[in-house]
Amino acid sequence: MNHKSLFTFFLIAILLIAGCSTGHGKYERIEGFAQGGTFHIVYSRPAGVKRAQVEQRVNDLLTAIDNSLSGYNKGSLLSRFNAGEEITPDSLFIGAFHRSKEIWLESSGAFDPSAAPLFDLWGFGFGNRDTVTQHLVDSAMLLVGMDLVSIKGSGDSARVIRERPGVKLNFNAIAQGYTCDVIARALDDFGCNDYLVEVGREIVCKGLSARGDKWKIGLDKPLDGNFDEGAHLQEIIVISDGALVTSGNYRKFYVENGEKHAHTIDPATGYPVTHNLLSATVIAYDGAIADAYATWMMVIGEEKARELALQRDDIEVYLIYGEQDSMKVWHTEGFPIYSNDLQK
């Protein structure tokens, strides 16, 4: 999505281990471009499985996801729906839609892919930025709400139904995490026990690295305009099984008339958020959940994000927020920071 996922993947480690053989098998690497960014996959290849088989499956899945969920691919199902066409959703679209609607309900609308007209209006969607007026915000707000979209029927008779003309969707806040999940399931099907899947810097991993230890991921400091990944690390995170996603407002924003407009839009107000939460990192059992929750937290701000994190026993959270011109940190007790891991 994307504007989130703002942690640094340890690419040096990946480059070093590609092609290495350990007790966990031969580690292979697949990388390329997808969803407006890059992807990197490292996996231990089981005996009897050919590298070409895995690579073809990954590429086929990335193409299928692009043709289903991409707002930049004008021929995708999503783009056709947003253009007003009646579409028959495929399984990928249906999966992303239902996961999104569940989290929309859970978040009371803080996470909302149907806020696409607002994303477009503020210049963070698939169209060109407009001159924002209260009238345009009010008009866009009439088209926001996942209760305005539904999927009726099944199979070839399934249709995506909008309740009002102009209703659109934008899955950027879940698509890359969801993509990691889809690829991870494919690696599971091949019998891979150790892998790391990174799409747009959102990660799902399993097992151990080629060195026989947990995967290590660098978390960047949320400095405005910090595009030099890895130059300013906040923490190193260790993780073995699960997903890790960061959302923040320090890379995708613009300043107009002296005012910063962040890419995180609050669907309840129609305006970019202005609170002090700089980034939210979420570790969860799958990428779609981590992706959506990180966005949800960036919408509601630091105080409510803490409350949400403490309500859930199936996620770990690391928040960086501003306070009196300095950065502060709060994280759940079980968040796996590398220095803490060494002390155990």
Whole-Å CA distances, 312 to 54, 109, 285: 35, 18, 12
Q: What is the pLDDT of residues 205-250, one digit of tens each?
A: 999 999 999 999 988 777 655 445 545 577 899 999 999 999 886 5
- Share above pLDDT 70 across residues of the chain, in percent, rounded to a whole number: 83
Report in angstroms the alpha-carbon separations of 95 from 247, 288, 294. Answer: 22, 10, 19
Nearest of 35, 2, 13 to residue 211 by alpha carbon: 13
Q: What is the mean pLDDT of the chain?
A: 86
pTM: 0.88
Check whether 253 has a pLDDT greater than 50. Answer: no
- Each residue of 62-119: pLDDT tens digit? 999 999 999 989 999 999 999 999 999 999 999 999 999 999 999 999 999 999 999 9
Provide the residue type at 25 as one letter: G
Q: Can you tell me the mean pLDDT for 309-323?
A: 94
* pLDDT at residue 179 tops 70: yes
> Measured in Å, how far apart are the chain's first and last C-alpha atoms?
35
CB within 8 A of 253, min separation 6: which ones?
224, 260, 261, 262, 263
* Residue 21 pLDDT > 70: no
- Domain at 69-162, CATH from 3.20.20.80, 1.10.3720.10, 3.90.79.10, 1.10.3980.10: 1.10.3980.10
